Structure 1
């Protein structure tokens, strides 16, 4: 797909509330954030991170906004700043959170509500198809 077609394709998703397309631009934006997350696959790194999160994060050339989002465990903000959920899940795992708990946090509902919503088929598309529906 050409860059112009890819851009037009991705632009179509910008109207969907809460949607961030993890494309080449987001990948570049979040490269160092995602690299940090990958280090958490090793126990020694998890221990070092837990011991002094701020100091550990300074090892990576992330933006201050990215570092603060990690410290705040603001996963939606991390995604907006280039984080990929599959990498960010390593932070959640380091904190002892299941992916289901992580997702419930990101959607603003309890883990039980999130589980019930997913078992029932997911979030209703009504009011979630376009930002114009929410105005």
Structure 2
């Protein structure tokens, strides 16, 4: 059964089901808190990922830096931001990438109160924009 909040466009709610789904993905991301692990990952990303029994989809999302896909597959934004930081991205950089906005445009949107709820209540509303 799909939860009602799955209809929120542009995001994935990190609930208990996603927590279970993304456990190994998130443990990989948290491992990057350690400098030695960051260096090992940078030296051979694919080999380092072999330490974590992620799904093939999760592994691909990490290797291709598909940030929104990582969230869909159970990643927690606070954990996946460890990977972004390993790549030299700030949280603001990451958010702008994930929202398909330039960094300055994303910052301006947030400073002026965030994204309007108008047109963003339901995925059905987004279907009418394309």
Shorter chain as denominator, the TM-score bin is over 0.9
Is 1:83 equivalent to 2:75 in the alignment?
yes
Aligned match of 1:45: 37
Q: TM-score, normalised by structure 2?
A: 0.93
CA distance in 1, matches of 2:11, 2:65: 19
Aligned match of 1:113: 105
Q: TM-score, normalised by structure 1?
A: 0.90
Q: 1:23 aligns with which of 15, 25, 41?
A: 15
CA distance in 1, matches of 2:110, 2:41: 32
Could you say what the CA RMSD is over the residues aligned between the two structures, in angstroms? 1.3
The answer to whether the 8 A contact 1:79-1:85 is kept is: yes
**How many aligned residue pairs are there?**
127
Which structure 2 residue ranges, 5 or more long, are not aligned?
A: none
Larger proportion of helix: 1
